[in-house]
Amino acid sequence: MASPATIIGFLLIMVVNTVVAAVAIRFFRLRLSTQWGAVVYTAVFIPLIYIVTTILLSGFVGFGGSGVQDRGTALILVWVVPFSLAVSLDIFWMPAPDEIDLPDRAS
């Protein structure tokens, strides 16, 4: 059984990864002109960001600990669940990129 500190650490990593992914996905959807561009950038850069945040929070800071013996479960908790939440937040609860008025770019 994992200690309460380990559970709180995993929850913190999940929240941080969800927020980072939601902001990055929204940025890609608003700034990139094609839908496939946002999909490709999301599929490539979000896992890279997750590597950095997971190493930073679980390695250097020490959140999450080593209380989970099953690495598959840990991977699902800190990568799959936050990514799924971030995508669903952007698709279902945020307005479509066409409905957002962006400021004109200075040339």
Q: Examine the pLDDT at 76 and tell me if it is beyond 90.
A: no
Which two structure tokens, joined as six digits, stand for 30? 């608003």
83 vs 7, 100, 101, CA distance in Å? 19, 23, 26
**Averaged pLDDT, 85-100:** 85
Residue 70 included in any domain: yes
Q: Examine the pLDDT at 17 and tell me if it is beyond 90.
A: yes
Residue 100 included in any domain: no
What is the average pLDDT value for the chain, to the nearest integer?
Answer: 83
Q: What is the pLDDT of residues 25-54, one digit of tens each?
A: 999 888 888 888 888 999 999 999 998 988
The domain of 61 spans 4-95
Q: Which of 17 and 29 is assigned the larger pLDDT? A: 17
Q: How many domains does the chain have?
A: 1
Residue 105 included in any domain: no
Residue 106 included in any domain: no
Confidence of residue 63 (pLDDT cuts 50, 70, 90): low
Q: Examine the pLDDT at 69 and tell me if it is beyond 70.
A: no
Q: Examine the pLDDT at 60 and tell me if it is beyond 70.
A: no
Q: Which of 76 and 100 is assigned the larger pLDDT? A: 76
Residue 24 included in any domain: yes
Residue 9 included in any domain: yes
Residue 19 included in any domain: yes
